[in-house]
Amino acid sequence: MATTTQALPVLPDLPPEPRGATVHRVSGRRRAGLALRHLLLIVMSVTTVIPVLLVVSTALKTDAEVKVDPFGLFTSFSMESIVRAWTEGQFSDYLLNSVLLAVPSTVLIIVVSTMAGYTFARLPFPGRTLLFYVVVLGLLVPFFTYMIPLYFQLRSMGLLDTLPGAVLVLTSTGTSFGTFFMRAFFSDLPEELEQAARIDGCSEWRIFTSVMLPLVSSGIGSLAVFTFISTWNNFLVPLLYLPGGGYRPLTTALYAFTGGRSIDIAPLAAGTLITILPIIVLFVVLQKQVTAGFISGAVKG
Amino acid sequence: MTRRAQRRLGVLLVLPVVALTVVFFLLPLANALVYSVVDFDGVSSNPPFVGLANFREMFADDEVWHALSNNAIWIVIGTVAPIAIGLLIALLLWGVERGSVLYRLCFFLPYVLPGIAIGIVWGWIYDPVQGLLNKTLAAVGLGSLARGWLGDPRWALYAVLVTAIWGATGFAVVIFISALRNVDVELVDASRIDGAAGPARLWYVILPQIMPVFLMVLTLTLVGGFSVFDIIFIMTGGGPADATNVIGTYSYTQAFQLSRIGYGTTLALLITVLSVPFAVALNRLQRKLSLQGTGA
């Protein structure tokens, strides 16, 4: 699905073929064009990846090496910084906190968005359109517009600096997109299926759970991966609403590390690696799902 | 019968999202409006009503205009660059079979990384003494251009912007690749036989066919541009000397560092009021075009 099956299209940067060009010359020209393209792509993709390699390289240096040349390539391979960040730097705790924030939020976002997406796509009731727009308004309003009042609201609700509070905020910021996304998937399903099930005596609930839900499993999968990545990466919610530091996830732990004048590069690099590694692994393994999710979520709605 | 059953289930299924939206979005948003007309320091339980004083102060505040102009620079460059570079990469990737998965992995990778990690590593790259950028400049004989990128008020905003562009381009690449897959190749070939040069082909043949998707990427990038906050907050905190302040960071400083909650919230409302019409207009346009495309 993700690989292009089309014939080689025209190169946008090539001049038109001259009249009477022989087949041989054309293919030679095309081959040269393709090589040029690969060259450009290699240069650009290497440039893109350099910052990521820099993290890996710095994290794998020995302490002594970091002191001499903090940002150059590593010359010897050492797990010293990573082990130190993991044990002394408490990154194992931060990792656990990240999991405790990202996993429940992802599950909740999936459940809530799927239910709402189904309703907005297929179950008519008065005020449905208006309600949908209100939910989707969350996509347009920048988070910092209401993050300050939300801080005081959570405080008065007793949810400030608690895991449930942070999870609920993460969930609510994720459901706008989730609902929008799942609604597009449910809208695409044929009406006949629903009617046939109804004639067979299915209840509305059964139609939703047993007939429609399995048909959007690919959409749910895409949304799950995307949601997990964005909750894992979330920075502002834990920064503002978990100020005590007891439930600090990886993102805000890294931020706390960057404060102060004398920054200790080695554990910071190791911590950064610990933070991005799960995401990179997830992304590489599920890259088709991630990109397909982005595309369908973006193109469908 | 069916209708009633549908309605009952619908209300039940939509309840959680409504509860979350009301409590964690609409309520704080409404409170933002309340905060904008009071002088709230975050502590007092009964902040005094000050009417439109916060708004008056906002329009008279030079830093607001400076922050807004930074927002404008950010929106223009931060929208044009990822889309242009993303389209270029997608066009280069178009029809490339060998290594295409690897290329896409590389280009999309920055997009899945957390902002804090991106901020940290780019901070190293921009490091005045040992950073990769200055070292590279020195190595190619351009050492005179080296500077403390994030510490120089004239360059800091653009330095952060480059980081943001690096992080955002992958999104445009992936979406444009999928859009190009639906482009009619025969039409493109025909235009080439007719003698249309590369740019003309792009402008008259390829772009019109991917216009709805193009506008969609434009909308999302633009909305993201208006709401920029994280990356600037992480990399410079609005400094040096307010040089990289945007409305988001300025609002945060006022609210949380100077305990001027009312004024900070008023500032945050400003950017929302400015951004929503753009998003709505672009979304309308995109919807109209995509409906035309499907013949619906």
**Predicted confidence (pLDDT) per residue in A100-137, tens digit:** 999 999 999 999 999 999 999 999 888 899 999 999 88
Interface test with A, best of B2, B4, B17, B272 (most A CBs within 10 A): B17
**A101: chain B residues, CB-CB within 8 Å:** none
pLDDT band, very low/low/confident/very high, at A153 (cuts 50, 70, 90): very high
Using a 10 angstrom Cβ sphere, with 0-12 exposed, 13-18 middle and 19 or more buried, the burial of residue A244 is exposed
Binding-face residues of B in 60-119 toward A, CB within 8 A:
89, 91-110, 112-119
Per-domain residue ranges of chain A: 34-78, 91-300
User: What's the rounded Cα separation, in Å, for the pair B243 and B226?
Assistant: 17
Please name the residues in contact with B121: beta carbons below 8 A apart, sequence gap of 6 or more: A51, A52, A54, A55, A272
Q: Which of A267, A280, A58, A67 is CA-nearest to residue B125? A: A58
- The answer to whether A38 touches B99, Cβ cutoff 8 Å, is yes
Q: What is the ipTM of this complex?
A: 0.89
Mean residue pLDDT across chain B: 88
pLDDT band, very low/low/confident/very high, at A2 (cuts 50, 70, 90): very low
Q: Is the per-residue pLDDT at A21 higher than 50? A: no
pLDDT of residue A241: 96
pLDDT band, very low/low/confident/very high, at A146 (cuts 50, 70, 90): very high
What's the full length of chain A, in residues? 301
| Residue B240 burial (CB count, 10 A) | 14
For residue A163, give the amino acid letter: L
Q: Is the per-residue pLDDT at B39 higher than 60? A: yes
**B256: chain A residues, CB-CB within 8 Å:** 148
Question: Which H or E run contains B8?
Answer: helix B2-21
Tokens of B187: 């039409």
- CB B117 to CB A229 under 8 A? no
Its sign, for the CA torsion A277, A279, A282, A287, is negative
**B93: chain A residues, CB-CB within 8 Å:** 41
| Backbone phi, psi, residue A27, to 5° | -70, -35
Choose between A45 and B276: higher pLDDT. Answer: A45
CB contact A109 to B (< 8 Å) = no
Rounded to a whole number of angstroms, the distance from the CA of B154 to the nearest CA of chain A is 22
pLDDT band, very low/low/confident/very high, at B286 (cuts 50, 70, 90): confident
- Using CB atoms, pick whichever of A135, A149, A279 lies closest to residue B112: A279
Mean pLDDT value of segment A67-78: 73
Q: Is the per-residue pLDDT at B196 higher than 80? A: no
pLDDT of residue B244: 95
Please name the residues in contact with B249: beta carbons below 8 A apart, sequence gap of 6 or more: B67, B229, B232, B233, B237, B238
Largest CA distance in chain A: 80
Half-sphere exposure of A2 (CA within 13 A, CB side): 20
- Using CB atoms, pick whichever of A44, A144, A276 lies closest to residue B248: A144
Q: How far is CA A71 from CA A67, A80, B123, B155, B272, in A?
A: 10, 17, 11, 21, 39
CB contact B20 to A (< 8 Å) = yes
Residue B49 three-state SS: strand
Please name the residues in contact with A170: beta carbons below 8 A apart, sequence gap of 6 or more: A101, A105, A109, A231, A234, A237
Give the residue on A whose Cα is nearest the Cα of B14.
A116
Mean pLDDT value of segment B267-279: 86
Binding-face residues of A in 235-294 toward B, CB within 8 A:
235-236, 250-252, 254-255, 258, 265, 268, 272, 275-276, 279-280, 283-284, 287, 290-291, 294
- The answer to whether A150 touches A236, Cβ cutoff 8 Å, is no
Q: Is the per-residue pLDDT at B285 higher than 60? A: yes
Q: Is the per-residue pLDDT at A171 higher than 90? A: yes
Its sign, for the CA torsion A241, A246, A252, A256, is positive
Rounded to a whole number of angstroms, the distance from the CA of B49 to the nearest CA of chain A is 16
CA angle (A182 as vertex; B231, A165 as ends), nearest 5: 55
pLDDT of residue A149: 92
What's the full length of chain B, in residues? 296
pLDDT of residue B295: 41
CB contact B23 to A (< 8 Å) = yes
Please name the residues in contact with B2: beta carbons below 8 A apart, sequence gap of 6 or more: A198, A204
pLDDT of residue A15: 44
Mean pLDDT value of segment B48-54: 87
For residue B60, give the amino acid letter: A
Q: Which CATH number does the domain A91-300 belong to among 1.10.3720.10, 3.60.120.10, 3.90.1150.10, 2.60.120.200?
A: 1.10.3720.10
**B180: chain A residues, CB-CB within 8 Å:** 9
- CB B178 to CB A295 under 8 A? yes
User: What's the rounded Cα separation, in Å, for the pair A27 and A138?
Assistant: 52
Q: Is the per-residue pLDDT at A271 higher than 80? A: yes
pLDDT of residue A300: 54
- The answer to whether A225 touches A289, Cβ cutoff 8 Å, is yes
CB contact B145 to A (< 8 Å) = no
Q: Is the per-residue pLDDT at A22 higher than 90? A: no
Give the residue on B whose Cα is nearest the Cα of A31.
B96
User: What's the rounded Cα separation, in Å, for the pair B221 and B244?
Assistant: 19
Choose between A68 and B24: higher pLDDT. Answer: B24
Mean pLDDT value of segment B43-49: 81
pLDDT of residue A61: 83
- CB B272 to CB A113 under 8 A? no
CB contact B278 to A (< 8 Å) = no
Tens of pLDDT along B84-117?
Answer: 999 999 999 988 888 888 998 899 999 999 999 9
Q: Is the per-residue pLDDT at B277 higher than 90? A: no
Rounded to a whole number of angstroms, the distance from the CA of B85 to the nearest CA of chain A is 10
Half-sphere exposure of A70 (CA within 13 A, CB side): 19
Binding-face residues of A in 163-192 toward B, CB within 8 A:
168-169, 171-173, 175-176, 179
Q: Is the per-residue pLDDT at A28 higher than 80? A: no
pLDDT of residue A139: 84
- CB B271 to CB A290 under 8 A? no
Task: State CA A92 to chain mean position distance.
Answer: 22
Mean pLDDT value of segment A51-63: 86
CB contact A142 to B (< 8 Å) = yes
User: What's the rounded Cα separation, in Å, for the pair A275 and A91?
Assistant: 9
Mean pLDDT value of segment A174-193: 91
**A267: chain B residues, CB-CB within 8 Å:** none
**B124: chain A residues, CB-CB within 8 Å:** 54, 58, 70-71, 265
- The answer to whether B267 touches B36, Cβ cutoff 8 Å, is no
Choose between A75 and B207: higher pLDDT. Answer: B207
Q: Is the per-residue pLDDT at B65 higher than 80? A: yes
Lowest-confidence region among A287-301, B218-232, B270-284: A287-301
User: What's the rounded Cα separation, in Å, for the pair B122 and B133?
Assistant: 10
Q: What is the pTM of this model?
A: 0.88
Rounded to a whole number of angstroms, the distance from the CA of B57 to the nearest CA of chain A is 18
Helices (H), chain A: 23-59, 63-68, 80-87, 91-122, 128-140, 143-157, 163-187, 191-199, 204-206, 213-215, 217-233, 236-241, 250-258, 265-285, 287-300
pLDDT of residue A23: 43
Mean pLDDT value of segment A226-250: 93
- Using CB atoms, pick whichever of A124, A144, A279 lies closest to residue B229: A144
- Using CB atoms, pick whichever of A70, A234, A275 lies closest to residue B117: A275
User: What's the rounded Cα separation, in Å, for the pair A249 and A258?
Assistant: 15
Q: Is the per-residue pLDDT at B159 higher than 60? A: yes
Block residue for tokens 């009249």: A19
Rounded to a whole number of angstroms, the distance from the CA of B195 to the nearest CA of chain A is 6
Mean residue pLDDT across chain A: 84
